C-alpha cells in the first residue's frame, strides 16, 4: 500500500522560509517522479515542483528562484525548501508520486503565509 506522509507545514510571515518533507513507503521509490502540488482555497490544484530519480527538477514559474526540491533515494524522501514566501503561497501542499503505471497523493500539509 502506497503511503506518502508530509510534514513541515505551518504559519510563517512573508519573506520567511519553510521546509516540507514527504516520506514514501509501499513503492519502489526510484521508479517514481516525486513532486509537490498545492491547492489554495477556491483554486485548482497546481504543480509546484517535481524531480526525477536522476535529480532533474521542474518548477512552476511562480516559485522559480524561491523553492528548491530535492530527494533522497536511499531514504525514500522528497523535500522542498521554500524561501521568500509570499501571501500567494498560502495553500495546502500535497506530496505526489508518479510512475508510468500509477500515482499517489499525500494527505496534505497546510502552509499559511501571513503577517
- Alpha-carbon dihedral sign for residues 25, 89, 12, 81: positive
Instruction: State the Cα–Cα distance between residues 28 and 15, nearest whole angstrom.
Output: 36
Q: Is residue 71 predicted with pLDDT exceeding 90?
A: yes
Q: Report the 10 Å Cβ neighbour count for 100.
A: 8
Q: Is residue 77 predicted with pLDDT exceeding 90?
A: yes
The per-residue pLDDT for range 4-41, each reduced to its tens digit, is 999 999 999 999 999 999 999 999 999 999 999 999 99
Q: Is residue 90 predicted with pLDDT exceeding 90?
A: yes
Q: Is residue 1 predicted with pLDDT exceeding 90?
A: no
Which residue would you say has higher pLDDT here, 91 or 101?
91
Amino acid at each position: 500500500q502506497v503511503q506518502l506522509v508530509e510534514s513541515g507545514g505551518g504559519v510563517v510571515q512573508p519573506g520567511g522560509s519553510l521546509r516540507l518533507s514527504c516520506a514514501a513507503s509501499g513503492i519502489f521509490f526510484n521508479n517514481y517522479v516525486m513532486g509537490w502540488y498545492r491547492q489554495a482555497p477556491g483554486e485548482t490544484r497546481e504543480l509546484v515542483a517535481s524531480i526525477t530519480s536522476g535529480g532533474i527538477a521542474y518548477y512552476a514559474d511562480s516559485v522559480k528562484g524561491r523553492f528548491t526540491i530535492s530527494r533522497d533515494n536511499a531514504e525514500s524522501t522528497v523535500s522542498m525548501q521554500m524561501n521568500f514566501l509570499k501571501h500567494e503561497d498560502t495553500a495546502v501542499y500535497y506530496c505526489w508520486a508518479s510512475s508510468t503505471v500509477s500515482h499517489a497523493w499525500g494527505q496534505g500539509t497546510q502552509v499559511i503565509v501571513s503577517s
